[in-house]
Amino acid sequence: MLEIRAYTEVLLTHPMVAAGPVPSAQDPDGVYPYESYAETSRRPVLKSYRFVTLENDRLKATICPDLGGKVYSLIHSASGKETLYAIPAVRPVRILPRQFFIGGGIEVSFPISHTPVQIVPVLYRTMETEDRIFVWCGERETRFGMHWTVEYSLGRNDDFLTQRTRFYNPTSEAHPWMSWSNAGVPARADTEFLFPNGPVLAHGDRMEKLDWAKDGPKSQRDIDRMTGYFWREPDCQAFGVYTPSLGSGLYHAADRRSMPGIKLWSDGVGKHEAWVSQYSLDGEQCLEIQAGPIMDQSIKQELAPGESHHHIEFWIPTDRRLDIYQLAVPEVELPEVDQIPLFGFARGEETEIWEQVAEAWRANRPELLPPPPVIDDNRWAISGYEELEAALRFAAASRPDQESAWRMQLGAWYAGKDRIDEALAELAASGEDRAWALAARLYRRNKGDHAKAAECYRSIRSQAFALHPQVTYERDLALSGIGSQTLAEREYWLARTSALQDEWLAERRAAWLADSGRFEEAKRLLAGTAFQLIHQRYARTKLWRRIMEGLGEPEREAPAFLGEDDLFEFGAYREYGED
């Protein structure tokens, strides 16, 4: 048997609340031009997703184009065992880059880790030959405008899933990138770690090097906290996990010359299990085995204009323990790399407006211009579309009645490409409320000019916009940077939203109390707030330590109720340093 099938299935899905109306350029908790998110609903809705299965007599792989092209399920057919954590619900949690991470399956990230399209649709195509079936998933990403495609294929007699990935940069600039294939698998106390010997970099609350054979954990029960392990000099080309209590395992093999990166991530047994439970339905635990073409996640490479990259790897589902030193890298016959399709932009609701603006500019026909996105429409000019610089200038000049909106978009586009001075000039010329808020962020973060940032906030005209939690939060950061003379102004704005149960506002109220010398009240406020768990953000931890120092009770370890992890700060996950 060799069969490919497409179908639709409903999953429980928890809707999300966007962070706010300010473009995500230079936002440490987001990535431009994508929206980022602040909350996930407690109650799910039903939502349909597209799935494609590749199946032969030995395994069945299910891919979900509507979840960023991830492998949703990988079943060992003879035993019927599921070897991935196949998520029963889409329940996003606060992990970079867009704060909407879901676990499980096999996620392919590009150009950053994790993928910015993890729970949104990408394009896909299938193909059948006599002895092999294929599904390709991908898009032209909107951050830099580069193409990525992941190819999954299955031969008639294969007992492994072949994964091949292709990247291409069609733009005139070099762009940074990283990519990891991240498999989420069920984690039990007896889940065994079958990884190469050699030196390993362990990333927990500190960074340390260890010898895996001598000091590495042998199973999930040996880890008592969230920890990542990166292999520096592995002595073989395969790795995997096997869980005796489930009778299932998953292994990975690849040529280390093109795929040197090996990683194990576990939240361990005990105090950090809640970090996994938050994206599950029943508290089931999941750990991650990862591979990539770069040694670890503190490193990015560059893709030059016109340059391509590709690599190949293999996933082996099993119902028994395998010897990684006996696992050879499979040899398969595949089409030439240039036959892997390159897709265009995947989500028309995000990108069609910008293609229409570019088309109007190319044709020199202002009547073809679409209406610009209004204040409650978070479509921001995509930084991966080079022609938009000239096209947005054309739009602003051609439609004086819409000039402020188009110049705001051009300012956001410049800010998304780190062209800060040009961004500030356009945002000032716009005078729109979104422009003032973004300009304030740039003055504060990029220029270190808190006073100028405060002036921008004072120029906002819409009361609703001025009181949005995102704006209130960032305004308070700017005002606090000026000094104690702004305490009254900060109190005024924070008081106007004091009834909102918003954790970001609670954080800033606590900061205001601490800056006012009211440390005990600040401590009670933080302790009484139901914070979400959020990875790789440490603002509350730093605030808590400042409060405790003010009380004369310095603490080394921040309490878990702050919702922040205690990882050593490592990795190139965040494009910009946090506030």
pLDDT digits (tens, 9 = 90+) for 514-553: 999 999 999 999 999 999 999 999 999 999 999 999 999 9
DSSP string for 150-204: EEEEEETT-SSEEEEEEEE--SSS-EEE---EEEEEE--TT-EEE---SEEEEES
Q: Which helix (H) or strand (E) holds 24?
A: none
pLDDT tens sequence across 348-371: 999 999 999 999 999 999 999 999
Residue position matching structure tokens 């069920």: 186
pLDDT exceeds 80 at position 372: yes
- Can you tell me whether residue 260 is helix, strand or coil? coil
- Residues of the chain with pLDDT > 70: what percent? 100
pLDDT exceeds 90 at position 408: yes
pLDDT tens sequence across 149-208: 999 999 999 999 999 999 999 999 999 999 999 999 999 999 999 999 999 999 999 999
pLDDT tens sequence across 40-66: 999 999 999 999 999 999 999 999 999
Give which of 229, 20, 59, 71 is closest to 157, Cα–Cα.
59
Higher-pLDDT residue of 576, 153 = 153
pLDDT exceeds 80 at position 269: yes
pLDDT exceeds 80 at position 393: yes
In degrees, to the nearest 5, what angle opens at C-alpha 90 toward C-alphas 84 and 93? 100
Write the single-letter amino acid at 110: F
pLDDT tens sequence across 80-97: 999 999 999 999 999 999
- The token duo for 4 is 């490919």
Instruction: List, in order of start, the domains of the chain with CATH numbers.
Output: 2-339 (2.70.98.10), 347-430 (no CATH)
Total-model pTM: 0.96
pLDDT exceeds 90 at position 491: yes
Spatial separation of the C-alpha atoms in residues 40 and 12, rounded to whole Å: 13
Q: 283: pLDDT confidence band, cut at 50, 70 and 90?
A: very high
Spatial separation of the C-alpha atoms in residues 201 and 199, rounded to whole Å: 7
What is the greatest pairwise CA distance in the chain?
76
The pLDDT value recorded for residue 108 is: 98
Rg (CA), the chain: 25
Mean pLDDT of 219-223: 98
Give which of 533, 537, 535 is closest to 561, Cα–Cα.
533
- The token duo for 307 is 């340059």
The pLDDT value recorded for residue 267 is: 98
Asked whether the bond before 310 is cis by omega within 30 degrees of 0, the reply is no
Spatial separation of the C-alpha atoms in residues 5 and 155, rounded to whole Å: 15
DSSP state at residue 319 = S
